[in-house]
Amino acid sequence: MRELDGLRPSSGGRSGPTKVFVMFCAFFAVIVTGCATEAREDVLKGFQLELPPCPTENLTFSGQTSAPGIKLAMSFTAPTTCVEQYLKDHHVDLTNPLYWPTSAWDNIGGASISPTAPPFRPASMKQFKLALDPNKRYKRYIGFRTPKEAEFSVLLDREGEQTSLYMESRLPGRVGKLD
């Protein structure tokens, strides 16, 4: 092959140092992001959480059980009686709801929080495609717990006999730890 100005044509393969660098980058990406491809069944099993026994619609889901970033965000729509039983089965006191929007500005860690601040992290709000109406009152609960002691925030949107449940993990409990 002919050299041009001291450059040799590429052999199509990567050199030894380049291969090592590419492998390191791929390994580092997995470590930093965690296992982003965990199946829904595996994540639910890791949290010791099942879907309710009734038919559900509009299921959204994302989560992982490996560190860093042990998390779960899930939503579905089901009959209101089923959603309420699902909450009771996970230690939620339905007689003591919080509400969104909240009734006043709050101050947490020196930061002012608007009454209409989103109830979930931005990624979860996007996943849920949740556009809340600040003129409507939504019930919220904190304290939904799994047998692995993972805790979730929950928001309900009731429409007639159906309720949409949105939930996001707050505390990982013992998820990811061997029992």
In a domain, 8, yes or no: no
Residue 34 covered by a domain: no
Domains in the chain, number: 1
pTM of the model: 0.77
Query: For position 11, what pLDDT does the model report?
Result: 47
- Euclidean distance between CA atoms 63 and 101, whole angstroms: 26
pLDDT at 9: 46
Rounded distance between C-alpha atoms, residue 163 and residue 154, angstroms: 12
What is the tens place of the pLDDT at every residue in 27-71?
444 444 444 569 999 999 999 999 999 999 999 999 999 988 899
Q: Does residue 24 lie in a domain region?
A: no
In degrees rounded to 5, what are phi and psi of residue 159? -135, 95
- At residue 111, the pLDDT reads 73
Q: Report the run of H or E that residue 139 belongs to, with start and end.
A: strand 138-145
**Does any domain span residue 135?**
yes
Query: What pLDDT score does 19 carry?
Result: 52
User: What local confidence, expressed as pLDDT, does residue 27 receive?
Assistant: 43
In the prediction, which pLDDT does 139 show?
97
pLDDT of residue 67: 85
pLDDT at 92: 97
- Domain annotation covers residue 7: no
Residue 66 covered by a domain = yes
Residue 9 lies in a domain: no
Cβ density class 107-146: b for 16+ within 10 Å, e for less: eeeeeeeeeeeebbeeebbebbebebeeeeebbbbeebeb
Domain enclosing residue 60, as ranges: 40-171
Q: Is residue 100 part of a domain?
A: yes
Which residue positions in the chain have pLDDT lower than 70? 1-37, 106-108, 178-179
